[in-house]
Homo-oligomer: A and B are copies of this chain.
Amino acid sequence: MMKLYHTELSGNCHKVRLMLSLLELKHDRVLVNLASGEHKSADFLKIDPLGQVPLLIDENTTIRDSQAILVYLARKCDRTDWLPLEAESMAKVMQWLSFAANEINSSLFIARLHFLFGMNFDWETAQQKGKQILQIMDEHLRERNWLECSSPTIADIACYPYVGLAPDGKVSLEPYPNVMAWIDRIKQLSGYERMPGLE
């Protein structure tokens, strides 16, 4: 059985929980205690030298990085609806995986760390950048239901948690009606799993 190492309040972990739930994949979950530094312990670093959650173990396969795990699950189940293989569609999905790993991670993610967990970051810059990327997403979603393609893909799942959790970083979603409608669409997917703060 697949085993997911995760924490409750991590949006990156939630991407994976959500995907597992949407694909109805049975798995075990192991909570990792970040506060006590469990992810930086020698045992954990042996499995993942970056010392990060989420981490997925599927028999002899270990995959780190939330975006890579989404790719793994979609390919394992051969779900080309969630990850198309045609060049343009796959590259367009990939754009949003990078957007999640870079743009969202350096803005909404950072603002949330500051306000929710009291970490010392430049929250003003993070919020400002967060609003810019929400504006870009809002424009992009003006005539689309999903970030790419005609049905949800892992692009939507990769971007969803930290966008939905933007209010944790004191960034309101009210000015972005298309983003809010997209969030509601994701919440209505069959198999949707809630996370604390994003219900």
Contact = CB atoms under 8 A, between A and B. Distances in A.
A179 interface: no
Given A75-B85, A85-B75, A101-B101, A94 B67 contact: yes
A151 interface: no
* Chain B CB within 10 A, most for which of A65, A86, A99: A65
Copy number in this complex? 2
A88 interface: yes
Interface in A73-108: 75-76, 85-88, 90-92, 94-95, 97-99, 101-103, 105-106
Contact of A92 (B49, B68, B91): B68
A61 B68 CA distance: 24
Interface in A36-87: 49-50, 61, 63-65, 67-69, 71-72, 75-76, 85-87
A139 interface: yes
A76 B87 contact: yes
27 contacts: A49-B136, A49-B139, A61-B88, A63-B88, A63-B91, A63-B95, A64-B95, A65-B94, A65-B95, A65-B99, A67-B94, A67-B97, A68-B95, A68-B98, A69-B91, A71-B90, A71-B91, A72-B87, A72-B88, A72-B91, A75-B85, A76-B87, A85-B85, A94-B97, A97-B98, A98-B101, A101-B101
Interface of A: 49-50, 61, 63-65, 67-69, 71-72, 75-76, 85-88, 90-92, 94-95, 97-99, 101-103, 105-106, 136, 139-140
